């Protein structure tokens, strides 16, 4: 990209953000992946967004915590922690970055470009955290807070977010029954590298109890554990019914 093209692209992003940077270099750096800087070794004005991602992670965590405490004064610490973990997760940040079409603004090395870096979950989530840092460094906490509130927390209802940990629940149930612990196997991966779908099989002893898909191994495991829990509880109810009879 020429200097003029870069300036035009950044202006477009500023309009999307509804914020005009006093120091556009901060915005530029927040979008620069390390693969780009490695190819530009020796150029003093080329820095990656890794440090900004580090700072942005902390700023984001504070702002999300602040908002949750304000919104839900009656929630216990454990529930607030789970809500925060969801809101700052790579999956949630990736979805926000996609809505902002942040991928088109990333500055990548040639290899990363060829491998579909503009659509990779990790790169987009990291860039979003770096963007929070850029807003904070350029204008202080208020621009960062406005962005987090309008883009990351917008339309989020803590009462509706699924917080159940089915894997832990299944493990506790089997421990109470003194049964073998569940084992999870990835039996299939499908889709392009940047948007894979994982199929996980859950086995208890020699029995295959559930099979489920997810956009990550963890979500697939949680889905399989949920199915297994439902089956085991149904079996428990049937057994209790027969005992009563």
The pLDDT tens digits for 148-169 are 999 999 866 665 565 567 888 8
Measured distance CA(49)–CA(130) in Å, rounded? 6
DSSP H helical ranges for the chain: 3-17, 24-30, 34-39, 50-71, 77-87, 90-99, 110-114, 121-139, 141-147, 166-176, 217-244
pLDDT of residue 191: 84
pLDDT < 70 positions in the chain: 1-9, 40-46, 155-164, 238-245
pLDDT of residue 239: 66
Q: Is the model's pTM score more than 0.85?
A: no
Residue 116, classed as helix, strand or coil, is coil
CATH ID of 166-244, from 3.40.50.150, 3.30.70.100, 3.30.160.20, 3.40.50.720: 3.30.160.20
Q: Quick one: angle between helices 50-71 and 121-139, nearest 10?
A: 80
Domain 3-152 has CATH 1.10.1520.10: yes
Q: What angle do CA 120, 125, 191 make, to 5 degrees?
A: 25
The residues that bridge with 60 in the sheet, in sequence order, are none
| Catalytic site includes residue 4 | no
> Considering 53, 57, 112, 211, which one is annotated as catalytic?
57
The residues that bridge with 210 in the sheet, in sequence order, are 202
Domains of the chain, residue spans: 3-152, 166-244
| Catalytic site includes residue 5 | no
pLDDT of residue 86: 85
pLDDT of residue 14: 92
pLDDT of residue 2: 45
> Considering 112, 126, 129, 211, which one is annotated as catalytic?
129
């Amino acid at each position: 990209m020429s200097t003029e093209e870069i300036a035009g692209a950044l202006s477009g992003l500023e309009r999307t953000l509804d914020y005009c940077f006093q120091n556009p270099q901060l915005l530029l750096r927040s979008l620069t992946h390390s693969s780009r800087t490695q190819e530009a070794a020796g150029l003093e004005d080329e820095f990656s967004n890794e440090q900004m991602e580090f700072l942005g992670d902390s700023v984001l965590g504070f702002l999300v915590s602040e908002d949750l405490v304000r919104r839900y004064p009656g929630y216990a610490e454990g529930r607030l922690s789970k809500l925060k973990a969801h809101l700052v997760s790579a999956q949630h940040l990736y979805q926000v970055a996609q809505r902002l079409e942040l991928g088109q603004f990333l500055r990548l090395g040639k290899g990363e470009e060829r491998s579909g870096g503009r659509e990779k979950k990790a790169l987009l989530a990291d860039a979003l955290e770096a963007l929070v840092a850029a807003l904070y460094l350029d204008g202080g906490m208020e621009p960062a807070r406005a962005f987090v509130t309008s883009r990351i927390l917008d339309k989020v209802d803590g009462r509706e977010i699924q917080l159940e940990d089915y894997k832990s629940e299944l493990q506790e149930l089997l421990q109470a029954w003194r049964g073998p612990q569940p084992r999870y196997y990835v039996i299939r991966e499908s889709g392009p590298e940047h948007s894979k779908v994982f199929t996980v099989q859950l086995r208890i002893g020699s029995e295959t109890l559930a099979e489920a898909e997810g956009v990550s191994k963890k979500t697939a495991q949680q889905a399989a554990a949920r199915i297994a829990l439902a089956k085991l509880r149904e079996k428990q109810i049937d057994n209790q019914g027969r005992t009563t009879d």
